[in-house]
Amino acid sequence: MNDPNGLVYHDGVYHLYYQYNPGGTTWGAMSWGHATSRDLTQWTEQPVALQARGFPDNITEMYFSGTVVVDEKNTSGFGKRGKVPLVAMYTSYYPVEQTLPSGKHVRKDQQAQSIAYSLDKGMTWTTYDAANPVIAEPPSPYQDQVLEFRDPSVFWHDQTHQWIAVVSLAKLHKIVIYTSKNLKDWQLASEFGPANAVGGVWECPSIFPLSLDGSREVKWILMLGLNPGGPPGTVGSGSQYIVGSFNGTTFVADEDSVYTPEEGSSQTANWLDYGPDFYAALGFNGLPRDKRTIIAWMNNWQYGGVIPTDPWRSAMSTPRHLALKTIAGKATLVSEPAARLSTHGGRTFTFRRLDGERELGRLGKALEIELSFSRKASLATEGEFGIAVAATKDYAQETRVGYDFATGQVFVDRSRSGEVGFDGTFASRYHAPLVLGADGSVSLRILLDWSSVEVFACEGEATITSQIFPSKDAVYSRLFSTGGETGNVKVRVKEVRSAWR
């Protein structure tokens, strides 16, 4: 599996569609897999929603990334006998030149935007073969980008009473915005980009509103996947965002959300996550504005096809709630885990002062950890404090999560996390900027699973998502403090029950 697709909440059910190869554990035969949940924790695998046309031996169309909306007003006309249609908009990829049932002719490797609909609450789908693709080619003057035109994100815009589609011109680092009254006929409205990080192709764009600091002021967020060219210190994929405004046709970035080389700043983007394994993030349609919940592909195109798992490959991040808060005078996306994990066996460790290492013993393989600590200003200029998790008893394997006082960064170090030799870049350390609290305090929330660690710092303004592949006996943990004494240390640990029970 790779990108999450078609995230939608409807009639009490969360639907997660996703890029899926029904014939293997590497990229190919792209289809839409499907899973459902009522609580974002326990998921039920469903039959493949959109299987590559002609699979397995004569594939003529693959289904790339896209989104799903609930067409409550039946603007599309797909609804019948009072049934509300769900409409998916996705990128059709045509591996061979052909004339389609709609009579439209497509080139080899063309990417175009198509739709399908469901009348049974998203369980089965009918492609709109009478007219697909509904957006066949990029707008002029970008028609030479027909092979790199993908990943539509669709939503209803209340103020202008129309549907909006955001599509990526991947290699040009542009998004194009279309409008429609019926999800079938689309008109070009505007374009945006390039801006900020442009080290790789732009993929999986979306725009959505959020209240600023819970007030009546509303900002719009453009969220983008970038591959390669992710956050500093990573190799491969990443996710960035830009804060701005949207009037139903045009996205305009806020000045302080865009960086230019002339500024002399080392910052080139606003990163959604500073880890190596958070890509193609997408939010659920169908939720209230300020309940924005996203899921990302927890992998990286640098090594996604060779991670050492069997008989499956790839996973999704934990669902996250997004909010927009003013931090250091700037509108900043913050996130926190959205799922209510089922936990047991809570343990608490407290240390008034700690210098060196302190064993915590055998904690388990799937944990929810809350770690808080502080260091006096006179000492908070060097050294590190943190926790080693997923460690073997001799600590030959461990993943270190903590704060570097010298650089002002929270970090995840997976260089000795277990199996790391399958890719030359995997054994690395990742970091995110984090300003200490006025009292020199730091708080970290850590979600540890069998093959992943997700870190949320302070208000969620810094997150790091990383895969790890430790040994089965890597269930130990210890604290570490270097470069001085760390105080007010508190660790709360809960074991997470299986979501597959």
Catalytic residues, by residue number, are 3
Strands 462-467 and 330-337: unpaired
For every residue of 267-280, which 3-state class applies, written as one string?
Answer: CCCEECCCCCCCEE
Cα–Cα distance for residue pair 154/152, rounded to 1 Å:
6
Phi/psi of residue 143, nearest 5 degrees: -70, -15
Query: What percent of the residues of the chain are helix, what percent strand, and what percent coil, each to the nearest 5?
Result: 5, 50, 45
Of 71, 50, 68, 28, nearest in space to 127 by CA: 50
Long-range contacts (CB closer than 8 Å, 24 or more residues apart) made by 308-315: 308/419, 308/422, 308/469, 309/451, 309/469, 310/25, 311/25, 312/25, 313/1, 313/25, 313/26, 314/1, 314/2, 315/1, 315/451, 315/452
Take residue 163 and report the two structure tokens written for it: 């549907």
User: How crowded is residue 396: how many other Cβ atoms within 10 Å of its Cβ?
Assistant: 11
Q: Are 419 and 400 in contact (CB under 8 A)?
A: no
Alpha carbon 365 to its chain centroid, in Å, reads: 23
Q: Are 490 and 373 in contact (CB under 8 A)?
A: yes
Q: Are 209 and 194 in contact (CB under 8 A)?
A: no
User: How crowded is residue 487: how many other Cβ atoms within 10 Å of its Cβ?
Assistant: 18
Q: Does an H or E element contain 344, and which?
A: strand 343-362
Task: State the distance between the two ends of the chain, measured CA to CA, in whole angstroms.
Answer: 22
The DSSP secondary-structure symbol of 379 reads T
User: How crowded is residue 124: how many other Cβ atoms within 10 Å of its Cβ?
Assistant: 14
